[in-house]
Amino acid sequence: MADTFRSTEGLIDALADAEFDRPPALVSNAHITGLGVARALDAHDVPVIALDRAGNAGDGGAETGTVTHDGLAPPSDAVDFAGAVTYPLDDLDGFREDVEAIVEAAGTEAVAFGCMDEWALSYAEADPEGVRLPFAGSDTLDDVLNKSELYATCERLGVPYPETYRLAETAASGTREADATVDEAADALGFPLVVKPELKRDFEEAFGTNVIEVADRGEFEDVVAAASDEGVAVMAQKRVDIATGRDHSLASYVPPSGREDALAVVGNAAVRFPRNFGTSCLVETADEPAIEERALAVLDDAGYHGISESEYVYDEVREEFLLLDVNTRPWKWISMPVEAGANLPMAAYAAVTDAEYESDGVEPTRWVYLRDYLSLLAGDDAFWDQLSAADWRRLVSGAFERDGNLTTGVYRPADPGPAAKLFETEFVDREYYCSC
């Protein structure tokens, strides 16, 4: 267990005394998603070094080589070392230098797992020496993450997606021709509509979110003008009448050999917190072969290999699933496919090392993030508990860890450190920068 979150220098010093019998995994960020990846790899004895930016509440103990960090991964028994690196969106060269120094101190090559877009893209763009990437390069990542390119691929392959217009007012010169002006998009889509960026990173940095719903033409024009000022290309998208509880995603690992050898599980985000637009807090396996087929076709067309989540919503008006987004990295409920029998992180690790991994098949499984799920049960809005009395007994006793078909995002009695830290940080006056 990484009992402290170290400064970069402190981590380098600690690694200089360590010995590794196989390449360690560099897992970033060091919060809920990183915790899920670390646990998946630790189940196969892969050493894990969790890397993240330092917290905002001071430098910690400079004399001991530690810094402040509120993420939940470092206290886990699945994490061997944890420490800070330069945040790549602030300084990509500094990030590269830190990672290369960490790998040199470890004395062996390492395998990178970026658990948010900026980390995955930064590992690919920085391409640190001594780091193996179990996913496609930055050009391919950009093609998949760029919604304009993604929806053009959907159009070509006949994969349903929400009605969307790329806006001339923010389109960069020299790129694919825009679909419409603000006035044309407003007339075609009506209100309310949603404004989305072609690429999430810069939009989220500027607006603190990756989607903005606008109620009228004035709000629409203001958002588009603000995006133009920030140099961010955006699109207008029809607001979909989504069927609550029917969001689905394909969780997959596609190896370099292609989609025929892909490892995949379809998950249904049965419950979100908040209910209609929040993040997943109860996800269960689902039998939707059309979703798997269409998502893998899109990934194959883009030439993408690696871990990904292809997100679909069910449009009640069109009566079909629409592809919204593809995340080219692990995500919050990555533990669900792992528990179901598809250890995507281990499959990715094995593809770039001498390790071996083969799935024994996929079984029905549910994943719950208890912090958010309990908030729904305790809230004022009516919410019908979807867990049984037997489920709750298994959760409280810890028997769910042995019985299978139910797993959690953080809480594990056999690995109590992350849940204990969640209690510690839940009631203090600061918030970790990422919910996943």
Tell me: the pLDDT tens digits for 257-268?
A: 999 999 999 999
pLDDT at 332 over 90: yes
pLDDT at 173 over 60: no
For the chain, what's the residue count?
436
DSSP state of 171: P
- Domains of the chain by start residue, with CATH: 8-135 (3.40.50.720), 163-238 (3.30.1490.20), 247-328+333-368+370-408 (3.30.470.20)
SS3 92: helix
pLDDT (tens digit per residue) in 368-415: 999 999 999 999 888 999 999 999 999 999 999 998 799 999 999 999
Share of the chain above pLDDT 90, in %: 83
Q: Mean pLDDT throughout 419-434? A: 75
Angle among Cα 309, 311, 315 to the nearest 5 degrees reads 165
pLDDT at 241 over 50: yes
Q: Mean pLDDT throughout 188-207? A: 90
Give the position of tokens 């919604």. 147
pLDDT (tens digit per residue) in 132-153: 999 999 999 988 999 989 999 9
154: its two tokens: 């959907």
Residue 330: pLDDT band with limits 50, 70, 90 = very high
pLDDT (tens digit per residue) in 15-70: 999 999 999 999 999 999 999 999 999 999 999 999 999 875 445 455 568 898 98
pLDDT (tens digit per residue) in 56-89: 544 545 556 889 898 999 999 999 999 999 999 9
SS3 245: coil
- In angstroms, rounded to a whole number, what is the distance separating the alpha carbons of residues 427 and 324? 35
Q: Which of 136, 163, 391, 359 is nearest to 262 (CA)?
A: 359
The alpha carbon torsion through 413, 415, 418, 421 (nearest 10 deg) reads 70
